[in-house]
């Protein structure tokens, strides 16, 4: 929320507490600094790998040049997975930069269907982008972007926090904020739960009458095959 990453909330989600009676009922210490937000082994016995996606708005109609340097710094982080963005009617996957140009892949490529059950082997050739990477000027980027980061271990997340403190939060106009504690004016943090799966496969609609039970917000054309 509010372009803010909360260390405390992420630690609650990713930190697996030990089951020993010695530490039962205990919680991680409150006096954690942003640079060394460590949860010692006495409190955190394991770490769930973290995929962190930070959605941002870096301008009104176009990207504000004041964010350019910080945006490029994100690609240098060892935890970076790139960024999602593009321009009107064109969504791209950005993987790096060269000078003032962003390097991107276009994921919207029609690929050959892969039958994963034919012989038990999976040909992953069509799982990859077959086109060469392309480039675009960073100022042509739509201001709505999403940054991606992956922290396999807790030390990776702590290192990411340190880099953000050093490279991102030094700017006067920050792309996003990094805070230690859950803001008091926010709703209480509730870790997301795994969705309940009620089916083992796709549900097919045999007749158009079955569509009546759905609340459709748009008009669709039913094609007979």
Mean pLDDT per segment of 10 residues, for the chain of length 225 residues?
A: 88 79 44 41 76 92 90 94 89 92 84 69 71 88 93 94 90 85 85 68 58 58 61
214 falls within a domain: no
- Predicted confidence at residue 205, as pLDDT, reads 59
- Predicted confidence at residue 145, as pLDDT, reads 93
Q: Which of 154, 149, 152 is nearest to 43 (CA)?
A: 154
Q: Is the pTM of this model over 0.85?
A: no
- Predicted confidence at residue 42, as pLDDT, reads 43
204 falls within a domain: no
59 falls within a domain: yes
20 falls within a domain: no
60 falls within a domain: yes
The residues pairing with 103 across neighbouring beta strands, listed in sequence order, are 96, 135
Domain limits for position 141: 1-15+46-107+130-183
- Predicted confidence at residue 206, as pLDDT, reads 59
39 falls within a domain: no
Cα 196 from Cα 200, distance rounded (Å): 11
27 falls within a domain: no
23 falls within a domain: no
Helices (H), the chain: 7-14, 68-76, 154-163
Look at the chain and report how many structural domains it folds into.
Answer: 1
């Amino acid at each position: 929320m509010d372009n803010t990453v909360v260390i405390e909330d992420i630690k609650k989600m990713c930190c697996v507490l030990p089951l020993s009676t010695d530490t039962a009922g205990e919680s991680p210490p409150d006096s954690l600094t942003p640079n060394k937000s460590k949860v010692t082994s006495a409190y955190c016995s394991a770490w769930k790998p973290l995929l962190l996606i930070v959605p941002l708005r870096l301008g009104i109609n176009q990207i504000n040049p004041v964010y350019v340097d910080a945006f490029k710094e994100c690609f240098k982080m060892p935890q970076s997975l790139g960024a999602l963005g593009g321009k009107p009617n064109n969504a791209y996957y950005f993987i790096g930069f060269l000078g003032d140009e962003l390097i991107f892949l276009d994921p919207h490529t029609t690929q050959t269907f892969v039958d994963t059950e034919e012989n038990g082997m999976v040909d992953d050739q069509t799982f990859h982008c077959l086109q060469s990477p392309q480039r675009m000027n960073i100022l042509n980027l739509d201001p709505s972007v999403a940054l991606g980061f992956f922290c396999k271990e807790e030390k990776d997340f702590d290192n990411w926090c340190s880099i953000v403190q050093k490279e991102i939060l030094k700017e006067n106009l920050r792309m996003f904020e990094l805070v230690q504690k859950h803001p008091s004016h926010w709703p209480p943090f509730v870790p997301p739960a795994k969705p309940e799966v009620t089916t083992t496969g796709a549900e097919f609609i045999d007749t158009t009458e079955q569509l009546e039970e759905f609340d459709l917000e748009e008009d669709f054309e039913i094609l007979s095959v």
